[in-house]
Structure 1
Amino acid sequence: MEPFQTRRLGGTDVMLPQIGFGAAPLGELFTKVTEHDAEATLAGAWDAGIRYYDTAPWYGRGQSEHRVGRFLYRQPRNELILSTKVGRILRAPARPERFDTGFWAGGLHFEHHFDYTYDGVMRAYEDSLQRLGMNRVDLLVIHDLDVWHQGSQTMVAAKLAQLANGGYRALADLKAAGMIRAIGAGINELGMIPRLLELFDMDFLLLALKYTLGEQETLDAEIPLCVERNVGLIIGGVFNSGLYATGPVPNAKYNYADPTPAQLVKAEKIAAVCARHGVPLIAAALQFPLLHPQVTCVIPGAFARDQVTANLAHVRRDIPADLWAELKHEGLIHADAPISL
């Protein structure tokens, strides 16, 4: 595949390359990253031709946005596409000496609270502009409105009500004013796509972890709904937090946790099929989502320059059609998964 061939994002006028840059690792997700390495990684991505960058206030509690912004504001603005997210407001901790960074290996010491109201969305957007050093972003994403992050269905319903009663109007106002080009939502869980599309006109969804070489349950009903409404798809978490980049090695993670025995066995079987065809597992993981016509772009993360280079090489690798056919024949990918362009 040609990584920088562009595809239209749903029904918008936004054209994205087939591969972008996911900046969660620059917020020190599981791994500490020096300022030097963060700058080198971003420079490597830019020099290699990557022009779409995705970040969020949550990534390192502001650190990723600062790092991405410090690099990108020096580049020609009309050559890049930038996305960030709304839903969280960062604030100074009441007890700094007791601050816990959680699963971020480092990052900045800010607490957060969720806010999907009109004022909350506008505040989050303006705060992101300040951290990024930019006066606009291209794509704005509703972030982490799901049980995983909100804690219960009751809280999800309450936050959806905030969005319906004002937050979505803020996004629509920003788009109408030309401050953003498209409205999206991040999806981490099954069931949220129908709920969001029932309530809101979405331009695209950033589907994390749920349409990958490792799992495709979204093909049962949710991706078909996106096809029906021409809602674009950007795929994040393409390696399911690591297992489909490294294979089933010690300490590999699957969806931010230790993989179950069944998940390890499935990854082993897929890796074995890839090996029989002389294809690295990571290359198959990067290319698989792009075989679906509704998918516009994949955004693998990186925290080192050589990771960016390797990802691009894997996207360019030729993968024989027989590999995909064997995975489907063995029941290792969904029966409805597209396996050719």
Structure 2
Amino acid sequence: MAGRGFEKRQVGKTGLEVTTLGLGGASLAGIFSAVPSDQARATVRHALLAGITYVDTAPQYGLGRSEHLVGEIVREATPRPVISTKVGRLLRPVDPARQDKGNWIDPLPFDQRYDYSYDGVMRSHEDSLQRLGVEKVDILYVHDIGTATHGVEGNRPLWAQLSGGGYEALRELRDSGAVKAIGLGVNEWEVCMDAFGLGDWDVFLLAGRYTLLEQTALEPFMTTCIARGASVVVGGPFNSGILVGGDTFNYARAPEAVVARVRAIEAVCKAFNVPLPAAALQFPLTHPAVCNVLPGPRSPGELDGILAWWDATIPDALWSTLADEGLLAPGTPVPGGPV
């Protein structure tokens, strides 16, 4: 397969390697606005031809649609890329007229229910293999466990499922070689710290909490990952769009304090003639725990824009200037040493 020479990093202690730039499969499934199936397939194909070797998907994305679309392309690829999907939601057929589509524009006709139990994890894994049409995936993430999704009271019984059997299922799948790595795919770092209490994990897909705009995950989460030999995949590097010229942060209109911080960061980027999205995309890799940055383009054209930002040269002085102006959290690793 042709493509550029991306740097590769190891996932935890697994020996599994991924390119530092990956492809997220949520947007391809049509969240908030429609993405034609041919366009979605073309985006996956374009990513693989560019040399990206890591593709992430999930049952939730388009209620099965993302896994179907991704599977059509990756199972024909040689060599096959690293594939991750998720557990925690089971899909069941439903009359489309009565379907809760959520934010998905054209999902498949399924409803979803949460299930983090032993049986739920095993069934979810098997169902994903069938939707993808592959014999194996490489990484399984526990999807959206935690209070950010379920609330404090709602999360308690679901966490009991994970701690009472779901984690055991994941360990069995990894120990048997059915998957190579296990982790969490979430939007809050605190639940990842709770997960460390259950045992060993290989990788965490954390969206939005370690970005150019926000480094709240730096301590104690990122430092614990280093100590425990776990990697971090950074999802949502543009913080829902605010770092690519949008007005959305955490899937809602950005508050003025966030807008003001973005303007300050952008001013530094302009002083160095660096596009803000390029700095946002490349920033997470300055941390040694991070193995991959996972944007979610909706088209080959959007992916080309991301690749241009990825190739942009960023001087070390940009990072040190951001630090000097208090726009990076103390302790943030940057070229030349921590802030």
TM-score, normalised relative to structure 2:
0.95
**1:6 is matched with which residue?**
8
Contact 1:69 1:134 in 2 (8 A): yes
| More relative contact order, 1 or 2 (CA 8 Å, 6+ apart) | 1
Q: Which of residues 291, 306, 316 in structure 1 aligns to 2:301?
A: 306
What do you get for the CA RMSD once the two structures are aligned?
1.4
Where does residue 251 of structure 2 map in the other structure?
Answer: 256
Deviation at 1:200? 2.3
Alignment: residue pair count: 333
Q: Which moved more, 1:168-177 or 1:121-130?
A: 168-177
Partner of 2:137: 137
SS in 1 for 2:165: helix
The answer as to 2:84 corresponding to 1:89 is no
In 1, Cα distance between the equivalents of 2:81 and 2:200? 25
Report the AA paired with residue 40 of structure 1.
A
2:192 paired with 1:193:
yes
**How many Å apart are 1:179 and its aligned residue?**
1.0
Does the aligned pair in 2 maintain the 1:3–1:18 contact within 8 Å? no
Contact kept, 8 Å, 2:29 with 2:40, in 1: the verdict is no
SS of 2:252 mapped into structure 1: coil
Inter-CA distance 122–83: structure 2 relative to 1 (3 Å threshold)? same
Distance, in Å, in 1 between the alignment partners of 2:80 and 2:66 is 20
* Aligned equivalent of 1:124: 124
Q: Which residue of 1 aligns with 2:266?
A: 271
Contact 1:61–1:107, Cα closer than 8 Å, also in 2: yes
Alignment of 1:297-336 (within 5 A): 297-336=292-331
Aligned partner of residue 220 in structure 1, secondary structure: helix
Mapping 1:46-195, distance limit 5 Å: 46-76=48-78, 78-93=79-94, 96-150=96-150, 152-195=151-194
Q: Which runs of 5+ in 2 are unaligned?
A: none
CA separation in 2, counterparts of 1:305 and 1:235?
Answer: 21
Q: Distance in 1 between matches of 2:158 and 2:259?
A: 35
2:211–2:239 contact (8 Å) kept in structure 1: yes
Residue 53 of structure 1 aligns to a residue whose secondary structure is strand
Q: What is the correspondence of 1:174-253 to structure 2 with a 5 Å cutoff?
A: 174-246=173-245, 249=246, 252-253=247-248
Aligned to 1:45: 47
What are the superposed Cα offsets for residues 252-280 of structure 1, whole Å, 9 maximum, x if unpaired?
A: 31111111111111111111111111000
Q: Report the alpha carbon displacement of residue 3 of structure 1 after superposing the two structures with TM.
A: 6.6
Give, in whole Å, the separation in 2 of the partners of 1:44 and 1:139. 22
Partners of 2:302 and 2:5 in 1: how far apart?
Answer: 15
Whole-Å separation in 2 of the counterparts to 1:186 and 1:99: 25
Structure 1 match to 2:283: 288
Code of the residue aligned with 1:335 in structure 2: it is P
AA matched with 1:283 = A
